[in-house]
């Protein structure tokens, strides 16, 4: 890839424009910290603006697309083709009264929406929209994504617990259990990707895929598959939205929230979805690169195109698949995805060693790995599915050993 012209009018990388502006300010003789602080503020403001605009767009797109998929019209009353529906929704959410339940734990109830939104937005800081458009270029970027998203768990629990509503608490407990289970799978999938490229810095991962002209999609299909499934669970999209399953527990952990507080949960959910799509785009789909096209088209447009395409996949999944039961979802994480991902991590290590020991060129090794990994993915998913699918869990458990030892009471399930 040719070097970008470092001129402000080179809009292939908006980082140039911001950099030129900051240089201009620094030349005016202000203290050193002014451009530094300004660069942070500009980056966060841009990312936040992008996230909110994308959310407004995708509220409309998601409802229209789901409508088409379910053979109905979707929103079509407000503006042409219902285009103004997101604005109407936003106004309604802003104007609605926020009711606080009488028995709620007011401090936590008030704090929870904020604690849910903050990590969701913080994650966006590390994604490289193009080489110069990254708010915080951390050398532990992948770990940062996992760490910051993991703090949302306790925030969701705060919401469910403080509402003092049984459905809220049930939803919160389901969410905590789900997040803990699928976080393991997610981390192992990310570990496969980073171990293969040998760096946790997102810019390096994109550069690796650019150098070898090989997206990790082709080299790590099993990790991508597991990551998509685990992420769909983490962001509560429908095949696995048992934390807010309407037909079971009203709206889960945000049952008691209304008005803009509910809007905050909605925002966090969408932004988390964008963050997941951005992770997939960066690690598996080559980020802002598209085999040379990035020299003509702005890299951030390519990145956004891939990101929206990935997000559309989640809408598609939502429109297609029925919701699974909680025990099925938990069993799927622990009995199916986890063993496969452990095997995959072992495989990645073996492949790295083979590559380093034989000293073969990338042109030979990478296609071989791609074919091998694809074949193994198909074989493992089908084989393990056939094997594990035959094992039926005992639907009526007997008394646990610990209960007998300590003489506790165990309520037999109704026959």
Partner 1 sequence: MEDAGSVVAFWALAALTLGAAVVTAAVRDLVRAVVALVLSFLGVAGLFVLLSADFLGVAQVLIYAGAISVLIVFAIVLTPRAARDNAETAMLWPALAIAGALMGLVIAVALATDWGDEAREGFRETASAIGEALLNRYVLPFEVASVLLLAAMLGAIVLVRED
Work out how close the CB of 404 gets to partner 1 at its nearest, in angstroms, rounded to a whole number. Answer: 5
Work out how close the CB of 173 gets to partner 1 at its nearest, in angstroms, rounded to a whole number. Answer: 7
Q: Hey, what are 344's tokens?
A: 């995959």
107 is a site residue for partner 1 (CB under 8 A): yes
Work out how close the CB of 402 gets to partner 1 at its nearest, in angstroms, rounded to a whole number. Answer: 5
Cβ atoms < 10 Å from Cβ of 30: 11
> Of 76-105, which residues contact partner 1 (CB under 8 A)?
105
By C-beta, is 140 or 313 nearer to partner 1? Answer: 140
- Stretch touching partner 1 by CB under 8 A, among 5-13, 175-183, 245-253, 345-353: 175-183
17 is a site residue for partner 1 (CB under 8 A): no
3-state secondary structure at position 306: helix
Please compute, for residue 60, the number of CA atoms within 13 A of its CA located in the half-sphere on the CB side. Answer: 19
Distance CA 132, CA 18 (A): 9
By C-beta, is 104 or 315 nearer to partner 1? Answer: 104
Cβ atoms < 10 Å from Cβ of 98: 12
**CA nearest neighbour of 55 among 336, 379, 274, 275:** 274
By C-beta, is 169 or 223 nearer to partner 1? Answer: 169
Chain CA centroid to CA 396, Å: 36
Phi, then psi, of 76 in degrees rounded to 5: -145, 15
Q: How distant, in Å, are the alpha carbons of 59, 147, 154, 173 from that of 112?
A: 23, 18, 9, 15
Burial class (CB in 10 A: 0-12, 13-18, 19+), 38: middle
Site string for partner 1, 190-229 (x = CB under 8 A): ----------x-----------------------------
- Stretch touching partner 1 by CB under 8 A, among 53-61, 202-210, 332-340, 390-398: 390-398
Residues 6+ apart with CB under 8 A from 29: none
For 229-257, the DSSP string reads: HHHHHHTT-GGG-GGG-HHHHTTGGGTT-
> Of 108-127, which residues contact partner 1 (CB under 8 A)?
108, 111
38 is a site residue for partner 1 (CB under 8 A): no
Number of residues that bind partner 1 (CB under 8 A): 35
| 220 in Cβ contact with 205 (< 8 Å) | no
> Of 260-299, which residues contact partner 1 (CB under 8 A)?
none
Work out how close the CB of 296 gets to partner 1 at its nearest, in angstroms, rounded to a whole number. Answer: 34
> Of 130-169, which residues contact partner 1 (CB under 8 A)?
138-140, 143-144, 146-148, 150-151, 153-154, 157-158, 161-162
Binding site for partner 1 (CB under 8 A): 33, 105, 107-108, 111, 138-140, 143-144, 146-148, 150-151, 153-154, 157-158, 161-162, 173, 176, 179-180, 183, 200, 394, 397-402, 404
């Amino acid at each position: 890839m040719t070097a970008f012209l470092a001129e402000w009018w080179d809009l292939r990388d908006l980082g140039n424009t911001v950099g030129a502006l900051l240089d201009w300010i620094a030349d005016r003789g202000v203290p050193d910290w002014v451009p530094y602080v300004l660069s942070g503020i500009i980056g966060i403001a841009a990312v936040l603006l992008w996230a909110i605009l994308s959310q407004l767009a995708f509220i409309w797109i998601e409802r229209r697309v789901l409508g088409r998929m379910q053979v109905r019209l979707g929103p079509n009353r407000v503006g042409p083709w219902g285009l103004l529906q997101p604005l109407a929704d936003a106004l309604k959410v802003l104007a609605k009264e926020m009711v606080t339940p009488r028995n709620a734990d007011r401090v936590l109830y008030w704090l929870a929406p904020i604690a849910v939104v903050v990590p969701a937005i913080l994650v966006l800081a590390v994604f490289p929209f193009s080489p110069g458009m990254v708010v915080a270029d951390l050398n532990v970027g992948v770990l940062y994504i996992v760490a910051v998203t993991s703090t949302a768990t306790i925030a969701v629990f705060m919401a469910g617990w403080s509402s003092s509503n049984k459905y809220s608490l049930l939803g919160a407990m389901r969410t905590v259990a789900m997040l803990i289970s699928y976080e393991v799978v997610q981390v192992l999938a990310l570990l496969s990707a980073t171990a293969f490229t040998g760096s946790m810095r997102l810019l390096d991962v994109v550069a690796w895929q650019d150098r070898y002209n090989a997206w990790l999609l082709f080299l790590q299909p099993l990790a991508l598959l597991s990551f998509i499934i685990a992420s769909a669970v983490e962001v509560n999209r429908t095949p696995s939205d048992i934390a807010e399953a309407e037909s079971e527990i009203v709206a889960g952990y945000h049952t008691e929230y209304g008005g803009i507080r509910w809007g905050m949960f909605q925002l966090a959910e969408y932004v988390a979805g964008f963050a997941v799509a951005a992770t997939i785009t960066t690690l598996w789909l080559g980020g802002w690169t598209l085999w040379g096209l990035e020299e003509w088209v702005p890299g951030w447009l390519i990145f956004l195109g891939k990101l929206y395409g990935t997000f559309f996949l989640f809408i598609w999944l939502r429109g297609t698949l029925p919701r699974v039961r909680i025990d099925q979802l938990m069993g799927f994480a622990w009995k199916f995805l986890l063993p496969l991902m452990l095997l995959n991590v072992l495989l990645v290590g073996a492949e790295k060693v083979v590559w380093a020991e034989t000293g073969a060129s990338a042109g030979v090794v990478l296609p071989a790995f791609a074919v091998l990994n694809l074949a193994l993915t198909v074989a493992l998913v089908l084989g393990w599915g056939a094997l594990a699918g035959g094992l039926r869990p005992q639907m009526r458990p007997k008394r646990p050993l610990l209960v007998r030892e300590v003489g506790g009471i165990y309520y037999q399930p109704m026959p």
